[in-house]
Amino acid sequence: MSDDVDAFIARVTPAKRQRDAEVLLELYGRVTGLEPELWGSIVGYGGYHYRYATGREGDTPAAAFAPRKAATSIYLMDGVGTHHELLGRLGPYSSGVGCLYLRDLTINDLGVLEQIVTASFRALTAGTFTDRAREHHN
């Protein structure tokens, strides 16, 4: 793991969020087989290229999370709705179009979370998914 990621995680507060980040480092590493990189304040793995319908395009991590004070953000760029069947078994969460917000991983089913992250990562790295979550409807 990079020193930047280690230093970033060491500064995460509150302690519960730091603990969850350490759990996610292991989970994401296992799922992706990649080392984490910092994308600002986001811990990302791999990458994918997206293109809006307007023609605007860019690059973003294929799998990512961000430990925030209120909750940990789990980025699902293929859209949270893509994973609706698994979400019923995850445990407590809130969500946006492309993010899950988890307040305490000790009360979530980490096996289900791993299935969600795995499916999202595979979809984004298959080379066929080029939408952004807000443009991908299921």
Give the C-alpha separation, 102 to 70, whole Å. Answer: 9
Long-range pairs for 111-117: beta carbons < 8 A, 24 or more residues apart = 112/86, 113/27, 113/74, 114/27, 114/30, 114/31, 115/86, 116/74, 116/76, 116/83, 116/86, 116/87, 116/90, 117/27, 117/28, 117/31, 117/63, 117/74
φ, ψ for residue 136 (rounded to 5)? -105, 110
Give the C-alpha separation, 60 to 73, whole Å. Answer: 15
Rounded to two decimals, the pTM is 0.90
Query: What per-residue confidence (pLDDT) applies to 95?
Result: 96
- From first to last of the 138 residues of the chain, give the pLDDT tens digit: 578 999 999 999 999 999 999 999 999 999 999 999 999 999 999 988 877 778 888 889 999 999 999 999 999 988 999 999 999 999 999 999 899 999 999 999 999 999 999 999 998 888 766 555 544 444
Closest CA to 76 of 59, 44, 106, 100: 100
Give the C-alpha separation, 93 to 8, whole Å. Answer: 24
Name the pairing type of β-strands 72-75 and 99-102. Answer: antiparallel
